[in-house]
Amino acid sequence: FVGNSTYLDDHGPPPQKVLPFPSQVVYNRVGKCGSRTVVLLLRILSEKHGFNLVTSDIHNKTRLTKNEQMELIKNISTAEQPYLFTRHVHFLNFSRFGGDQPVYINIIRDPVNRFLSNYFFRRFGDWRGEQNHMIRTPNMRQEERYLDINVCILENYPECSNPRLFYIIPYFCGQHPRCREPGEWALERAKLNVNENFLLVGILEELEDVLLLLERFLPHYFKDVLSIYKNPEHRKLGNLTVTVKKTVPSPEAIQILYQRMRYEYEFYYYVKEQFHLLKRKFGLKSHIRKPSPRPEFFIPSPLETEEPINDEEEDDEKWLEDIYKR
C-alpha cells in the first residue's frame, strides 16, 4: 500500500547539484585569435560534459555603456551553472555591480598577424558560405575592398593606424574609456587584470599547449579537448573558418605596423612570458629557437610565423598542423 505519500515526503528534498569549481567561466574572446576554433570545440564539449555553453550573436559591440554592462552581467550571472559564457567583449568587472566575479580565460596571438588576418577577413571572408565577405561587409565600396595593404599602411589610412590598431589590450583592460587609448595606463591595467582575474591567457601559436593546460585547470569543461581537436572530422569543420586571399605587406610596411603597435607588443610579450612560466611549472617545454627581441628593436616578419599565406592550397587533413605548426 503506497497511499498518498510522495518522493519528497519519504526521502526529503532531492540532493543539491554538486557544482565543479569554478562553475562560472567567461571566455571574452579576442577577434581573429583562434576563437572560432575554440567555440567549435566548446560546442562538442558542452554536450559531452553537460555544462551550459552560453554564446552571443553579438559580434561587433565590445564596448558597453554602464547600463549595458549591468544588463549583460545580470543575464550572465543568472545562467544555469556550471556555465561557460563566450562573446567578443572587453573585460567586465562583475564585482563592480555586486556580482560574483567569474574565472576568465582567453587566447591572443602576434598582433601584426592578428591585424592582417582581420584585414583580409573583412574583405574576403572565409570558406563558410553563410558568413562570406559580402554578408559581413555589404556596404564596403569596391575600392576599399581591394585596397592594397601596403597603401593602407604607408599612407596611414584609418584602418591601418591607431586607434584601430590598439585592439588586444582593451579586451583585458576593460570598459573604462581610457582602455581605448594607446598608452601605459591601459597596458598596465590590462596586465593587472591578467594577473588577478584570468585563470589562463594562452598564445595561439602554441594552441595545443593552451588546450592541455585548460584540460588540467578546468577538467569539467575541457576534458578530452585535445583528442577532439586532433580528430579529422573536427579539422574538416575548422577548415571552413580559415581566412582567404591573404597577402604579406612589404618589410617597410611591417616595420611601421610594429612601431604603431608598440603597446600591443609589450602586452603580447608579457602574456607570452607568463604563459611559458606556467608551462614550465606543469612540465610542458616550449620549443623556441631563441628569445624574441622586443618591438623597439626588431621583430621577425610575419613570414616567419605559423599561419600560412595561401589558404587555398591547404590540405583538408592537415589544416590545423599547418596553421599552428611550431
Alpha carbon distance, N-terminus to C-terminus of the chain: 70
Task: Write out the three cell numbers for 278.
Answer: 606556467
Q: Is residue 88 among the annotated active site residues?
A: yes
Q: What angle do CA 88, 215, 45 make, to 5 degrees?
A: 65
Q: What are phi and psi of 24, to 5 degrees?
A: -130, 110
Contacts from 145-150 at CB under 8 Å and sequence distance 24+? 149/116, 149/119, 149/247, 149/249, 149/253, 150/249, 150/250, 150/253
DSSP state of 210: H
Neighbouring C-beta atoms of residue 278, cutoff 10 Å: 17
Burial of 295 (0-12, 13-18, 19+ CB in 10 A): buried
Closest CA to 55 of 70, 40, 69, 71: 40
Residue ranges in the chain assigned as alpha helix (H): 7-11, 35-49, 66-77, 111-124, 133-136, 142-145, 149-154, 170-173, 184-197, 207-217, 219-222, 225-229, 232-238, 251-260, 262-281, 319-324
Helices (H) and strands (E) in the chain, counts: 16, 5
Catalytic residue from among 11, 49, 59, 88: 88
Q: Which residues does the annotation mark as catalytic? A: 88
